[in-house]
Amino acid sequence: MSEQWQPTYGQKDFKINKKETLYDGFFKMLKLHLSHKTFAGEMINIQRELFYRDDAVCVLLYDPQKQAVVLVEQFRVGTFDQDEGPWLLELVAGIVEDGETPDDVARRESIEEAGAELGEIVHITRFVPSSGGTREYIDLLCAQVNSEGVEGIHGLPHEGEDIRVHTLEAAEAFELVKSGTINNAPAIIALQWLQLNQKDLDKRWLEV
């Protein structure tokens, strides 16, 4: 067996020679002029346009008592051309604000988007959803929740949010991933993680 993979190069092996701001609003668009070392040991110069997004947190709300998950449905402009329409079934999520930890964001957004108070939070992973052209890091979490009475329409109107809460049996959510109905990366990753770790979570949270 081979040794555990490590990146060939690191921070010292590339350089940003010039940075241009193409757009600066809620999101940012940059143009970067870069030099980086190649696998042959030489240097290459490239230009890349970069969609810059702040760090985000996505949290899967899991009720071990009911073997259920709480998901949210909302309009997503990034899927405006999807045949089924641009309403997706997703995790509770939000942008990290100054001074916040991922757990802080999860608790704040769970109240805003689902009216749900969280119990213990478990960290799943930190990942990049589209590293070829987007700067964004997502902390993916799973949190214990009592789904009783967690329902209705939520969100902050002044932010253009219109969110409907759904509580589904975990097994049903797994099937929606399998069928491709749930097709956004954070929800897919979190639900597949839950499918692998559900027994351990149940043991941890049901015996408390």
For this structure, is 97 an active site residue?
no
**Which ranges constitute the DSSP H helices of 24-73?**
none
Out of 3, 42, 159, 207, which one is annotated catalytic? 159
Q: What are the E-state strand segments in the chain? A: 14-24, 28-37, 43-52, 56-63, 68-75, 87-90, 92-95, 118-127, 134-135, 138-145, 153-154, 163-169
Residue the block writes with tokens 């009216």: 115
Q: Which of 156, 54, 56 is nearest to 102 (CA)?
A: 56
Q: Which of 74, 10, 18 is nearest to 36 (CA)?
A: 10
**Which ranges constitute the DSSP H helices of the chain?**
102-114, 170-179, 185-206
Show which residues are catalytic: 159
